[in-house]
Amino acid sequence: MVRIAKENVLLIFTVLGVVAGIILGISLRDPDAKWSKRHLSYLRFPGDVFVQMLKMLILPLIMSSIITSLASVDSNTAGKLGMISLVYYFLTTMMAVILGIVLVVLIQPGKWMTTNIEEIVGEVSKAPCISTAMDTILDLVRALFPENLIEATFRSHKVCMKFLNGSESVNPDYVLKMSPEARAVFTELPEKITSDGMNILGLVMFSVAFGITISWIGEEGLALKAFFKSLEAVSMKLISLVIWYSPIGITFLIAAQIVSMKNPGKELQRLMGYMVTVLIGLFIHGFILLPILMITLARRNPIKYVCGMAQALLTALATSSRNMDGTALYEAVAAIYISQCVGMELSLGQIILVSLTATLASIGAAGIPQAGIVTMIMVLIAIGLPSNLFILIFPVDFFLDRIRTTVNVHGDSIGAAVVGKLCEKYLKQGSSEVNEQGYSMLSTHASPAPSKRISIGNHHYENSHML
């Protein structure tokens, strides 16, 4: 028992941090007094420091890990690996969206609504930016190819529709009316705007191309390969040090969020139907569909795999900031739920539009907390609903954000295992060819090096020709 506790010290501290955050948040709540934003910022400060430290290490970790991985295999293998990964993540995201749509149509959580919608919506102003579904698709492609790599590390671009007020003269009855009438018109103008935040898609695309190119050029790229390998090792070490601070940061993040809620009991009661639908969908996707993929494709025991991922899942539960499957399901359910609340019946075409828009939005969502609300506005506009209706689900977004983030991380980890299993022979073949070429370039009389173990995800391979 003592040995198990020593091996899982960080996991135990993380659980204690979550529990402590809930207790602290409940104990600090005062129904008769509202906390000011300044005092909330003081309470949240240790958690903000934790999140900022993680964000600080995102750029070097992402770029170095991708470049190092792709530079270590031949280009043919990298192409197959990327294609299989793309197909897997797209299919699982579509599965989550379809599951969410089926559940929300069957359960009809919008019919559980008992509060005054006009009163709730009146608290929120109009969304500052409007994007169509086509704009989102084009923005996704543009983001893959940033025009300025340095700018992509701290800024992203998107296209929004700007409406200009105007008027025109019309005369519907030329016989009886001698003077024309003025009619208000709105002109749609696409406008490119910038927002603070890293363009993750563009940086990943560049890193993929950079890593594959290093593999192509062979000996000339060995110095760059060694540099990024060292950078990856340093970044991982820094991440491991920051994670030890996570229990403290998690405690204050959760406490501050609980304190900031106006009336948790009333808000939970109002959104019970919506929460039940989302939670059922996330449970089915995370604990039934994904484990089935794990068993059939990766030939692994999902229970043991989840136990090994416990630390990562608990960290995700407290910090959020992910996208993909869980977010896609949430957006689909939320959009249809809101349409049910306002009495709008969606057509089959609109439901299909919800599925496509939610999938693309979740793939391109920024990896920051509350990014789901931003993409939620886009889905609402795609089906013709006012963007400010997102306030109907906002009060419980913090809680659901943590749950869907856990499903996202769980799905990503299973994806790594599945892709590693499906590409096992290509990875072995690619490592063997790269090492043979490396030896032929360095020396024709080089003696074999000791056997080393190659780890890709949770898969390990023995190779006696590693440099």
Query: What confidence tier does 226 reach under pLDDT thresholds 50, 70, 90?
Result: very high
Gap between the Cα atoms of 302 and 320, Å rounded: 23
Question: Which of 93-97, 269-273, 405-409, 410-414 is most confident?
Answer: 93-97
Gap between the Cα atoms of 246 and 168, Å rounded: 60
Gap between the Cα atoms of 61 and 69, Å rounded: 12
* Residue closest to 458 by CA, chosen among 311, 313, 305, 235: 305
pLDDT at 345: 77
Query: What confidence tier does 224 reach under pLDDT thresholds 50, 70, 90?
Result: very high
Of 148-152, 179-183, 213-217, 369-373, the one with minimum mean pLDDT is 179-183
Q: 352 or 452, which is more confident?
A: 352
Gap between the Cα atoms of 122 and 321, Å rounded: 28
Gap between the Cα atoms of 182 and 134, Å rounded: 32
Question: Which of 98-107, 302-311, 355-364, 425-434 is most confident?
Answer: 98-107
Q: 130 or 292, which is more confident?
A: 292
**pLDDT average, residue stretch 323-329:** 72
pLDDT at 284: 92
Tens-place pLDDT, residues 380-394: 776 777 766 776 777
Of 67-81, 172-186, 315-329, 348-362, the one with minimum mean pLDDT is 172-186
- Sequence-ordered list of residues with C-beta below 8 angstroms from that of 413, at least 6 positions apart, any chain: 305, 309, 312
Residue 230 has pLDDT above 90, yes or no: yes
**pLDDT average, residue stretch 112-141:** 57
**pLDDT average, residue stretch 233-249:** 87
Q: 228 or 169, which is more confident?
A: 228
Residue 46 has pLDDT above 80, yes or no: yes
- Mean pLDDT score of the chain: 73
Query: What confidence tier does 75 reach under pLDDT thresholds 50, 70, 90?
Result: low
Question: What sign does the CA torsion over 402, 404, 407, 408 have?
Answer: negative
pLDDT at 102: 92
Tens-place pLDDT, residues 396-436: 776 787 788 788 888 888 888 888 788 776 666 655 554 55
pLDDT at 466: 33
Query: What confidence tier does 447 reach under pLDDT thresholds 50, 70, 90?
Result: very low
**pLDDT average, residue stretch 133-145:** 75
Question: Both tokens of residue 135?
Answer: 């704009």
Query: What confidence tier does 374 reach under pLDDT thresholds 50, 70, 90?
Result: low
pLDDT at 458: 40
Query: What confidence tier does 318 reach under pLDDT thresholds 50, 70, 90?
Result: low
User: Beta strand 181-196 with 452-456: parallel, antiparallel or unpaired?
Assistant: unpaired
Domains and CATH numbers, the chain: 10-154+197-442 (1.10.3860.10)
Tens-place pLDDT, residues 178-209: 445 544 444 555 666 676 667 777 888 898 88
Tens-place pLDDT, residues 18-35: 889 889 988 888 777 778
**pLDDT average, residue stretch 72-100:** 76
Compute φ and ψ for 460, nearest 5 degrees.
-125, 140
pLDDT at 329: 84
Gap between the Cα atoms of 147 and 159, Å rounded: 15
pLDDT at 362: 66
**pLDDT average, residue stretch 432-457:** 43
